[in-house]
Amino acid sequence: MAEIVEMSSLALHDQVAARLRTMLVEGRIAPGAKLNERELCEQLHVSRTPLREAIKLLSAEGLVDLLPNRGAVAVKLTEADVMHSFEMLAALEGLAGELAAERISDAQIAELRALHYEMMASHARRDLSGYYRLNARIHTAINEAAANPVLAQSYRAINARVQSLRFRTNQDEAKWERALAEHLQMIEALVARDAPRLRAILVGHLQAKRDTVLALLRAGEIYPAEAVR
């Protein structure tokens, strides 16, 4: 499976955080599951010190909750959490898109085009992990093009907690195709510097993700039905 970030150039605890982040996003560590330090040390071939540092990083990102008497637990959101998170994400991504359309450079557009073509190739290979990694980079690049670090920081903090849920929304073929088409529309709006259109596309994109996640939650396909409140 493709990793969300490259490993080789990172410090050990950052390398461990990268591996854990991918495991959490892709559901290899189930939502609500306790992070077993002994098992993870054996699996990742590291000692407890870098593992614990990595867990602290992921806790700060919102992917892990540190609970009294339980330790580190993979984040598990309620239906209300999902609605509130996606409500904020839609507003932030819409604003980021509007600003990006006004401020993006030709070089940044070229980079986004390249990422989009790579993402299309992952889709053609049915490489969901690679697709999601590139998808996330595209959304990050749009936020960076907005050139508003306060907005970008707010977006990262909220988006981290729903990454695993966003990953699951593309496991339905029709929804995956729709998401790909919406990404093409994003690139077209950026090229045209059409700020209102890009805002509308991004808001609609996030609302569709929200609706898919809520449907999966209510169907018991993400968490057990009794866990949804």
The tens digit of pLDDT for each residue in 95-109 reads 999 999 999 999 999
Which domains, ranges and CATH numbers included, belong to the chain? 12-74 (1.10.10.10), 79-227 (1.20.120.530)
Q: What is the mean pLDDT of residues 155-163?
A: 87
Q: How far apart, in whole angstroms, are the C-alpha atoms of residue 128 and residue 168? A: 9
The tens digit of pLDDT for each residue in 169-227 reads 777 788 889 989 999 999 999 999 999 999 999 999 999 999 999 998 888 887 644 43
Number of H helices, E strands in the chain: 10, 2
The tens digit of pLDDT for each residue in 60-91 reads 888 899 988 889 999 888 999 999 999 999 99
The pTM for the full model equals 0.79
Nearest to residue 74, comparing CAs of 17, 26, 35, 19?
A: 35
Q: How far apart, in whole angstroms, are the C-alpha atoms of residue 131 and residue 148? A: 26
Nearest to residue 156, comparing CAs of 135, 167, 140?
A: 140
Would the pLDDT of 9 be above 50? no
Of 53 and 222, the one with more pLDDT = 53
